[in-house]
Amino acid sequence: MNGSRTFYLIMMIVGTIAPWYFFSGFIAEYGAGLGGFVGSMYVNGAAAGAVTDLFLSAAVFWVWSYGDARQKNVSNWWTVIPATLAVGLSLALPLYLWMRAKEQDSIPAPSL
């Protein structure tokens, strides 16, 4: 595994643990109800702005990565969608970049 893929793998782990540290605290205190979770995202302007930015960024990422995956022949592109929904971009982005780098690593170098 090359250096980039190692970095992406580490970031997938960190990008899963860090958000779930906060999610688990919230769930322990308020329960796992989706309504309360979504409502808490918009408790003030700062939180609403940050969440809206993440939602828009996720949408752009899905569209870009879909097209890029078709162009670069990245298999299992669709896994970024449940990764985004279950954790967030902190998992989905390094996951896609890891898959993309893996695909690029498997392409044989052109012979001269």
Residue 72 lies in a domain: yes
Give the mean pLDDT of 73-97.
Answer: 97
Residue 111 lies in a domain: no
What is residue 74's predicted lDDT score, i.e. its pLDDT? 96
Other Cβ atoms closer than 10 A to 16: 18
Instruction: Give me the number of domains the chain comprises.
Output: 1
- The pLDDT tens digits of the residues spanning 28-75 come to 999 988 888 888 999 999 999 999 999 999 999 999 999 999 999 999
Determine contact, residues 42/48, Cβ cutoff 8 Å: yes
The overall average pLDDT reported for the chain is 93
What is residue 110's predicted lDDT score, i.e. its pLDDT? 66
Q: Is the pLDDT of residue 98 over 90?
A: yes
Give the mean pLDDT of 80-86.
Answer: 97
Residue 110 lies in a domain: no
Residue 60 lies in a domain: yes
Other Cβ atoms closer than 10 A to 51: 15
What is residue 49's predicted lDDT score, i.e. its pLDDT? 96
Determine contact, residues 62/80, Cβ cutoff 8 Å: yes
Residue 112 lies in a domain: no
Give the residue numbers spanning the domain of 79.
3-104
Residue 66 lies in a domain: yes
Residue 109 lies in a domain: no
How far apart CA 52 and CA 77 sit, in angstroms, is 24
